[in-house]
A = this chain, B = another copy of it.
Amino acid sequence: MSTTSVESVLQTLREHGLRMTPQRRAIVAEIMSTSGHISPSDVARRVRERVPGVNPSTVYRTLDLLEELGVLSHAHLESGAEYHHSSEAGHVHLVCSKCGGDESLSVAEGERLKDLISRRSGFHPDLTHFAISGLCAKCRRTAQAGRAS
């Protein structure tokens, strides 16, 4: 499936008069094989491990480009911007401030929340752009137990 994605990206690039290079192939492959999200600097690091010589600046330029083309999206987590393939866009990130765990609200739940907010405030939120920080169920239980004792 990673191959399929690379092919479709190649397609997209061609439609825009852009080119597929080994570097881009490596970068796309890296992100497509990542479930969840990954920071630009991590992409740079990992791509570099596999294909020595890929320059960080190329990674940054490629990420920007792929996002403009709609292949990738980024969201803001605690550690900063993180990229993921657009097929994973739509997920609302729930990041636990205690254990660092990263859950996802279902797309349906996300939509419901979105509608609710927009109906009440007139503001149309994109709940996927920023993560939502908080306590996961597990850490919350621990915290309560601590309080009780």
Contact = CB atoms under 8 A, between A and B. Distances in A.
Contacts of A126: 97, 132-135
Interface stretch (A1-9, A20-28, A29-37, A116-124): A116-124
Contacts of A103: 121, 123
Contact of A136 (B116, B120, B123): B123
Interface in A92-128: 94, 96-97, 103, 105, 109, 113, 116-117, 120-127
Contacts of A117: 105, 113, 132
What is the predominant secondary structure among interface residues of chain A facing chain B?
mixed
A124 B130 contact: no
Q: How many copies does the complex hold?
A: 2
Interface residues on A, range: 20 to 34
A124 B140 contact: yes
A129 B133 contact: yes
Most buried by B among A94, A96, A129, A132: A132
A48 interface: no
Given A124-B134, A130-B132, 4 more contacts: A109-B120, A122-B136, A123-B134, A126-B134
Interface of A: 76, 78, 94, 96-97, 103, 105, 109, 113, 116-117, 120-127, 129-137, 140
